[in-house]
C-alpha cells in the first residue's frame, strides 16, 4: 500500500466517522440541554417540598381540636354514641318486654 492509498483510506474513514461524530455531538448537546432542564425543575420541586414540609411540621401532631373538620368529626362521634345508646336500649328492652308479657300471660292463666 502506497502513501497515496493510505491517504485515500484515511479520507474515506474520516468522511464516514466525521458524520457519525457530528451526530453524536448533536445528541450529546440535546441530552445535556434536557438534563439541565430536569436539574432546574428538581430545584423548583425541592423548594416546594421544603415549603410543604414546614407547613406539615407546623400542624403536627394533628389533633381533633386543631382540625378544620372538627365540627364534622364531633357530629359523627355524637351520632355514633347515640346510635350505640339506642341499640343498647333496644337490646335491654326486648327481654324486659318479653318478661312483662310473660308475667301478664301467667297472671291471666
For residues 53 and 99, state if they share a domain: no
- Could you give the count of Cα atoms lying within 13 Å of 60 in the half-sphere of its Cβ? 6
What's residue 35's pLDDT? 94
Q: Where are the alpha helices (DSSP H) in 59-109?
A: 70-108
With the C-alpha atoms ordered 51, 55, 61, 62, is the resulting torsion angle positive or negative? negative
For residues 82 and 36, state if they share a domain: no
pLDDT tens for each residue of 40-56: 888 888 888 888 888 88
For residues 78 and 28, state if they share a domain: no
pTM, full prediction: 0.37
For residues 84 and 49, state if they share a domain: no
What's residue 79's pLDDT? 78
For residues 27 and 46, state if they share a domain: yes
For residues 68 and 56, state if they share a domain: no
Distance of alpha carbon 108 from alpha carbon 86, whole angstroms: 32
For residues 72 and 108, state if they share a domain: yes
Displacement of CA 3 from its chain's centroid (Å): 69
Q: Domain limits at 21?
A: 1-60
42, three cell numbers: 428538581
Residues with pLDDT less than 70, the chain: none
For residues 50 and 82, state if they share a domain: no
What's residue 28's pLDDT? 93
For residues 45 and 70, state if they share a domain: no
How many domains are contained in the chain? Answer: 2
Amino acid at each position: 500500500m502506497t502513501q497515496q492509498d493510505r491517504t485515500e483510506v484515511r479520507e474515506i474513514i474520516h468522511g464516514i466517522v466525521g458524520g457519525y461524530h457530528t451526530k453524536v455531538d448533536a445528541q450529546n448537546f440535546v441530552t445535556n440541554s434536557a438534563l439541565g432542564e430536569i436539574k432546574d425543575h428538581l430545584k423548583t420541586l425541592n423548594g416546594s417540598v421544603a415549603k410543604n414540609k414546614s407547613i406539615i411540621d407546623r400542624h403536627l401532631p394533628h389533633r381533633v381540636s386543631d382540625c378544620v373538620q372538627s365540627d364534622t368529626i364531633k357530629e359523627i362521634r355524637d351520632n355514633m354514641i347515640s346510635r350505640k345508646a339506642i341499640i343498647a336500649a333496644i337490646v335491654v328492652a326486648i327481654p324486659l318486654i318479653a318478661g312483662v308479657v310473660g308475667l301478664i300471660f301467667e297472671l291471666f292463666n
